[in-house]
Structure 1
Amino acid sequence: MKNKILSIAVLLTASVSFTAQAYDGTNCKEPGNCWEPKPGYPAKVAGSKYDPKHDSNELNKQSVSIKEMEARNKQRSAHFNKTGTFVYDVDEL
């Protein structure tokens, strides 16, 4: 019984080590740089059917909202330094 289990374990170990050394489908240009496009996927995305074509207004929404937030925080801190009371709503200043 032990010999049978041992032989199964040896076969499993051999098969696992064989599959671990199998070709993984990548061609590495250098160590750590193994990206390559899948078959049918273009090497350059811009201008292809996979290009997401993001709207620049949508991309700039976050930077605009951050600038507005910083302006409100500046008003709040100036009011706090002047009066010593913190007011959250900038419209109340």
Structure 2
Amino acid sequence: MAGYVYIVTNHKHGTLYIGVTSDLARRIYEHREGLTPGFTSRYGLTQLVWYEEHWDVRDAIQREKTMKQWYRKWKIALIEERNPDWRDLYLELW
């Protein structure tokens, strides 16, 4: 089963959250609608600014764990490498 690692935020250079899922569109919809109580809904993290797909969800889980240990500036650099304008990529999933 495939997996995705993703980063959501509330605005450019705002609070960042790294997550992992097997269904990216569904999970981001849940973040956008505030359907899951916790960190992302508390801080209004609704904008998908970065993601990557892994063929095996176990690889995605390991990547998420690694990235959560990164310095914030590394995460920002990763986002800006592929999405310098911090566009919300959610609509591009369709």
TM-score, normalised relative to structure 1: 0.21
Name the larger-Rg structure: 1
Tell which has more relative contact order, 1 or 2 (C-alpha 8 A, sep 6+): 2
Give the structure with the higher percent helix.
1
